[in-house]
Structures are given as C-alpha cells and as structure tokens.
Amino acid sequence: MVKVKNENEIGYIFGYGSLINSASRAITGQTKSVIPVQVEGLVRQWGHTGSKVMSHLIVTEGSGTCNGVLLEVDSATLSDFDRREKGYKRTFLSETCVKVMNGENIDCSLPIHVYVTESVVMPSPEHPIVQSYIDTVLVGCLEFSPAFAESFIDSTSGWDCAFLNDRDNPIYQRVAGVDTNKQAHVDLLLKMKKVRLESH
C-alpha cells in the first residue's frame, strides 16, 4: 500500500474524517480538486491521537475499505494540514488502492498522502468520541450523498466506545458547516444505521 515519492511535489491528501467537511477543511487551507474515493487496505476506527479532551478518527493498514476524499494541495497547504494533523504520521498511499467514485481522473504522477497512526488507543471516558466531531464528519459526508454517509458509518468501527454529547458546548475546535437542521439529519442517519451512542 505505501510507496515513496518526492515529498516536495504537489499532491493529494486522502481525507477520511473531518477533512471530508468542506467548511471545516477551509479553516486550515484551500484545496483544489476534491474527489470522493474508496481506499482498499485501510481500517478506520475511533481512537485517541494525543488530544487532552477527545478521540478522533484514525486509520491503520489492514484488510479493510474506507471512503473519503482526495484533496489536491500544494506544498504550503500540505504543511498547514500537517500542523492540523499533528497527532498523526503522514505517509504515502499507492494509487492502486484508490477507487474514484465520481468518474473523475486523478493524476497518478502525484503522491497521495495519508495521515495514519502506528498504534491504536481506544477512546476512554477521559478521551471520548464527541458529538461535535461526529456532526462535522457526517455533515461532510452528506455533502456528497446519504449513501456516502452510510458507507462512512459502515466502514468505521468503535462506535460503542466512550461517548460525550457536547453539542451545547462543542469540544471539537473545527466544527463548521453544522446547524440544527443538519444535526437532525445526522441523528436520523445514526438511528437508521442503529448506531447507539451512550455516555460512559
């Protein structure tokens, strides 16, 4: 899955969490093309990445498939996203693992970056999954389609871990593009997929 290319090249980032959300993404930097994709060989789950207050989404190499977006970035913007994703390690993803979902073409000469973790630390009451982060990610998925959001839920594990409903006082600092109507859509989607989020 992982390959080495020149780090100085313009390239893509594979976003599989909050980077799917265009408004949240724009807080960090402007990207060029945004392409919905599925990636083979990555397992997505909830996990702790070093934050003092919450858990995030992580991916590790494994026999799985997860959806997300390819974001075309220049070197300066890549550095901005490196700072945003400081709890992760950036590595390279082979284009052979990537399936484009909307018929667009990707430039296979460009590197594809992905932020991964080397180990998995499950969410805990001290570092729970928070509703504001879930809202941000799923609202981003719904920018593409309900089916894209359903695929996200299905290909993410760890929903039964420690959870905190922080909508009234969001802990996640990059909540964007979320309003009460969209929160209602998120709630209906989670209910339909039988995801039970309970405080631990």
d(CA 113, CA 160): 29
**Coil, strand or helix: which one is 23?**
helix
pLDDT at 76 over 60: yes
In a domain, 2, yes or no: no
Residue 108 within any structural domain of the chain: yes
Please work out, in degrees rounded to the nearest 5, the angle formed at the alpha carbon of residue 161 by the alpha carbons of 158 and 166.
110
Domain that holds residue 177: 11-192
Q: How many domains does the chain have?
A: 1
- Whole-number pLDDT of residue 200: 65
Whether residue 199 lies inside any domain: the answer is no
As a whole number, the mean pLDDT across the chain is: 94
What CATH number does residue 74 fall under?
A: 3.10.490.10
Of 191 and 1, the structure prediction assigns the larger pLDDT to 191
Distance CA 81, CA 25 (A): 9
Q: Is 185 among the domain residues?
A: yes
Domain annotation covers residue 197: no
First to last CA, the chain: 36
Per-residue pLDDT reduced to its tens digit, 34-66: 999 999 999 999 999 989 999 999 999 999 999
Q: Which residues fall within 8 angstroms of residue 122, CB to CB, at 6 or more apart?
A: 46, 47, 48, 55, 158, 161
- pTM reported for the whole predicted model: 0.93
> Is 59 a domain residue?
yes
* Beta-bridge partners for 59: 44
Is residue 4 domain-resident? no
**Phi and psi (nearest 5°) for 115?**
-95, 120
- Is residue 119, in this structure, part of any structural domain at all? yes
